[in-house]
Amino acid sequence: MIAIVARFLSASGQGLHGFATLCVTLCLLSATSGCAWWDNKERELVYRPTPGRPAEFNLRPGDQMYAVSVPGTVAGKPESLHIWWMPHANPAAPTLLYLHGTFRNLYRNYPKIEALREAGFSVLAVDYRGWGESSPIVPSETTILADADVAWTELVRHQPDPRKRVIFGHSMGGGVAIDLASRKRYLADYAALITESTFTNLPDVAASVGALGTIASWITRQKFDSLAKIGQVDAPILMMHGERDQTVPIALGRKLRDAARPGVRWLEVPGGTHSQLHTEAAQLYQQTVKSVINQLPKLPPRQ
């Protein structure tokens, strides 16, 4: 069985599209292995978390890496999240909560995080459990969303002014960000939402592959149903998507945009791919992100 799975991993590659073929194959295999095996294997294949850290890596002087405990984990097995706090040189800068996607941990997201800081944000970034130096588990949609709630608490601690809080998510992280934003309120909790290369839901991504993907979309238990949640977001939204995104087809980004409340700002990057918009269209990316900062609500003038 392991040999068969390894063969399909090699054949299908490491993208979300590869998941569709694997999902069907492993479901058939699981008929002789039990539902628990399938559930665990599905989550491994959907998220493919990268643990650990590079041998040589340092943030800027003044940046912080620290761990926070996750409440409600199994007794006797405390679990924690690895957090990065990366303040901007301007102490009055707004703060962005950075929620990454599948596969790459924060270390592999560092160039994008720095691009957002250079645009004018302080950044609070989190590795969900299973990624980086956070507790080593097989993650699920439930654990990832719970981890975002813990990160939110840290965001509020670092940035007490809700008018200076922005939620950002890339790819799957956009689904995490939309879920979080849908449960918060504009101005009372935060001031803007930014998504990049984000899908409607995971079944739609699987179905976009073809016949096997459609079957996979019926099977997967991991949903991240942003399409059902985006209409509940009452804050200003910026959505960015690459025209040549081969992981999340841009049609899914447009469908998500159309399901949001009126007024969504939409940036479609010509020739842009899934994870490199910050380098492929660096000037446009910076200008667009900075425009979000410029449009954040300001404190009323003193009387």
- CATH assignment, 64-201+224-294: 3.40.50.1820
In whole angstroms, give the CA distance from residue 194 to residue 207. Answer: 25
In whole angstroms, give the CA distance from residue 161 to residue 190. Answer: 8
Residue 7: which region, alpha, beta or left (left: phi > 0; alpha: psi -120 to 50)? alpha
Return the pLDDT at 10: 37
Phi/psi for 237 (5° steps) reads -125, 135
Residue among 128, 113, 48 at smallest CA distance from 81: 128
Q: What is the pLDDT of residues 230-240, one digit of tens each?
A: 999 999 999 99
3-state secondary structure 105-144: CHHHHHHHHHHHHHCCCEEEEEECCCCECCCCCCCCHHHH
Instruction: Please tell me whether residue 269 adopts helix, strand or coil conformation.
Output: strand
Helices (H), the chain: 2-12, 16-30, 35-47, 106-118, 141-158, 172-182, 202-207, 211-219, 226-229, 250-259, 277-280, 282-294
Residue 275: which region, alpha, beta or left (left: phi > 0; alpha: psi -120 to 50)? alpha
For tokens 């040549």, what's the residue?
Answer: 244
Phi/psi for 147 (5° steps) reads -65, -35
Q: What is the pLDDT of residues 14-61, one digit of tens each?
A: 454 454 455 555 555 544 445 666 678 888 888 999 999 888 888 999
pTM score: 0.88
Judge contact between 195 and 169, C-beta under 8 A: yes
Q: What is the pLDDT of residues 174-225, one digit of tens each?
A: 999 999 999 999 999 999 999 999 999 999 998 887 666 666 666 678 999 9
In whole angstroms, give the CA distance from residue 208 to residue 192. Answer: 29
Judge contact between 176 and 228, C-beta under 8 A: no
Residue among 156, 228, 240, 148 at smallest CA distance from 190: 156
Average pLDDT over residues 75-79: 77
What residue segments make up the domains of the chain, in order of their start? 64-201+224-294
Q: What is the pLDDT of residues 270-285, one digit of tens each?
A: 999 999 999 999 999 9
Higher pLDDT, 75 or 88: 88
